[in-house]
Amino acid sequence: MEDKVKFIVPEDKREYGYVGLNLETDSAKFVFPCRYLPDDADRNVQKAEAKKLLLLIKRAQEEYLFGGDGEERTQLFSMMWLIRDYIDNGYYTETESVMKRSPKGKIDWKHTMRHSRILSDNGNLIYRDFYSYRNMLDAGNILTQIYKCCLGYSVKTIGFLYGISQTERSVFQVESAGDVSYMCFILQREQSKTFNSYKKVMLFHLLTILKGTQGKLHAVSLLMRDSEFEYVFETLINEVFGTEDVSKFYNQYSYFLKDKTDDDVPYATSLLRPDTIMQVNRPEHTEPDYYVIDAKYYNYGYSRNQKDLPQSSSITKQIGYNHYLSDHNDRKKYYSVFLLPTSLENEPIEYVGYAASEKEKNVIDKVAVCLIDLRTLVDVFYGTSRQGISREDLRQMLRHILSENFLNH
């Protein structure tokens, strides 16, 4: 499978229309976001970055409940869990208690008294043989064979992401409907018997993999439409830049209708909800800066076409946040920022300008526009930045850029 997998980095954001892993019958593709990696990126780098994005897609799909067939997504997640478990712990092996005639191990006195010859020595009774239990590894155990079967199928499907191409063969075959049915029966029986938390998780994932096959190999995909990937981008921005609980800053709008019987009970409509709020300390000030950040997974960072910028409705909403938050939080100053994805070679953040009404000159009535390198954002989220950049570093970079280019102009 590894030789057949093609890693694709689109030059244009709209080229493929999706991001993620698409496993087809004769070929397999992993499509990265636009310009996410350089063309000459090492294959090991491609695989490492692909795994990061798959986990992000998984998280977004679980949180927002969208993106393709749910059973296929769940099966792929279980494959990822199983391969990771194999890498960390090796093959699963059951232990069985075996009774042997031996003084070593936990002696079974009841069995010893029944079956051992008794000798007498000066009035003392001596048992000639002891029977004891010893835990023995059972490499041929049915669960071990099921584990190997599911692992082999998982490696055949996505093992290329982990650099694994071959595992030990199982006595069962996932291509056999009879084998799959029997394995599912065994796993369900074990589920009803075990109280071991790890084993419960393992049994769940093994069952998920087998139920997804139903005796035949088929394509499994984990991908999102490009338009849905905005939820991943929003999650990244909020996790990396967010420092405040945004639910404390919601603004409730309501209707106050004169014909209501109870004038004290307004008709509530939707909440005005800021996406991300970042508080950053300024070295030269006692009061911190507050920024209302709106993550926009728009194409401007790649096309540099003005038509790909956020529209006036988004601008108006952000300015509304500025005024509401400043008025209701001890007159603290809140400033708005659009963050858009792009691919940058030097600095991870680039200031490109601001949006405002032509009549407004106050910074509270403007929205800054910045671009952020998407790969750097993902790396910082996972704590694997190539430049050693932390989340706080990235926040300070954004604050510094806005202070230099936006707040003082």
Q: Tell me the C-alpha distance between 405 and 335, whole Å.
A: 13
Q: What's the pLDDT score for residue 3?
A: 54
Longest dimension (CA), the chain: 114
Instruction: Give the pLDDT score at 332.
Output: 76
pLDDT value, residue 217: 42
Count how many residues are written for the chain.
409
Q: Return the structure tokens found at 330.
A: 């001890």
Return the structure tokens found at 24.
């087809």
The three-state (H, E, C) secondary structure of the chain, written as one string = CHHHEEEECCCCCCCCCEEEEEECCCCEEEECCCCCCCCCCCHHHHHHHHHHHHHHHHHHHHHHCCCCCHHHHHHHHHHHHHHHHHHHHCCCCEEEEEEEECCCCEECHHHHHHHCCEEEECCEEEECCCEEEEEEEECCCHHHHHHHHHHHHHHHHHHHHHCCCCCCCCCCCCCCHHHHHHHHHHHHHHHCCCCCHHHHHHHHHHHHHHHHHCCCCCCCEEEEECCCHHHHHHHHHHHHHCCCCHHHHCEEEEECCCCCCCCCCCEEEEEECCCEEEEECCCCCCCCEEEEEEECCCCHHHHCCHHHCCCHHHHHHHHHHHHHHHHCCCCCCEEEEEEEEECCCCCCEEEEEEEECCCCCCHHHEEEEEEEEHHHHHHHHHCCCCCCCCHHHHHHHHHHHHHHHHHCC
pTM greater than 0.85 (yes/no): no
Can you tell me the distance from the alpha carbon of 224 to that of 49, in angstroms, rounded to the nearest whole number? 16
Distance CA 157, CA 83 (A): 11
C-alpha 214: how far from chain center? 27
pLDDT of residue 5: 74
Residues of the chain with confidence (pLDDT) below 50: 1, 67-69, 137, 139, 215-219
What's the token pair of residue 92?
């699963």
Buried-exposed string 268-294: b where 16+ CB fall within 10 A, e elsewhere: eeeeeebbbbbebeeeeeeeebbbbbb
Measured between alpha carbons, how far is residue 320 from residues 246, 309, 313, 357 in Å?
Answer: 15, 19, 11, 13
Query: In angstroms, what CA-CA distances link 266 with 6, 100, 255, 259, 262?
Result: 57, 79, 6, 11, 8
pLDDT of amino acid 216: 43
